[in-house]
Amino acid sequence: MIRLGAVSYLNAKPLVYGLEAEPRFDVRFDVPAQCAELLHAGDIDLGLIPSIEYLRGGPDAYRVAPGVAIASQGPVASVALYTRRDPRDVRSVAMDTSSRTSVALSAVLLKRAYGVQPTAMDVAPNLAVMLARADAALLIGDVALMLADGAEGATKIDLGEVWTRCTGLPFVYAFWAGRPGVLRSADIEALQRTRDVGVGKAREIAQRHFDDPAEQAIGAAYLRDNIKFDLGADEQAGLERFYRYAAELDLVGAASPIRFY
């Protein structure tokens, strides 16, 4: 069996819908950063990892499952900076480090879109606490999805929207990656088939994920309208641009080419 590390956030659920019933996969769920740590340590064979972690595995360490990703083209709703200041005046950011891609994306966009390089600090994902300690707060996942503009008196800056406005490209937050040789063609087909089924189950997935009917409605609309699950030519171009920008800020080493199974 392939030891597979998946993500517990709502936006990953369409990629694992029914996957636990596949006899070829042994599935566990963690936050994105933990999936990456498990993959780097060799404790899983394939992980739904933050896209920035592909570069941190070392040269030629990983291959990416083709065609499948968590991405957005425009507003993403679940990756956002919250601040009571003009973003050009932000000098410190409290970071939710559950996804290192989002941390890197915030650093890239604060520099390129707003011309600032704030000090970063790790803080648990509580907006009031974060804004008491820093000028801005990065929140991701279900927490950010449910925190609208104006929460704690802060403006919500959607980083997916800012990225696409600056580049014209989609942004890729995560994808399946593992060591060379881990996946066969039948395994790749199973991952793509799971994605295709899950994409059509947005309402059902949101109802399972949330208890509150209002949150279920927000979650279903989010899966339909904000999140994209393909990894095509445009998404690859967005990834390559992100890697180049991250390398220019010394957030990673050299931007390696993306290699697929």
pTM metric for this prediction: 0.94
Beta-sheet pairing, 171-178 with 46-50: antiparallel
Report percent pLDDT > 90 for the chain.
Answer: 87
- Of 32-41, 70-79, 129-138, 229-238, give the lowest mean pLDDT range: 32-41
Strand order in the sheet with 136-140: 119-122, 92-95, 136-140, 79-83, 155-158
Confidence of residue 255 (pLDDT cuts 50, 70, 90): confident
| pLDDT tens-place string over residues 140-176 | 999 999 999 999 999 999 999 999 999 999 999 999 9
Do residues 78 and 223 lie in contact, with contact meaning Cβ atoms separated by under 8 Å?
A: no
Mapping DSSP to helix (H, G, I), strand (E, B) and coil, where does residue 258 land? coil
Query: Taking the domain 79-167, which CATH number applies?
Result: 3.40.190.10
Question: Domain 2-71+171-248 class?
Answer: alpha beta
Domain definitions of the chain by residue range = 2-71+171-248, 79-167
Q: Are the folds of 2-71+171-248 and 79-167 the same?
A: yes
| pLDDT tens-place string over residues 207-228 | 999 999 999 999 999 999 999 9
Do residues 111 and 138 lie in contact, with contact meaning Cβ atoms separated by under 8 Å?
A: no
Q: What is the DSSP letter of 77?
A: S
Mapping DSSP to helix (H, G, I), strand (E, B) and coil, where does residue 132 land? helix
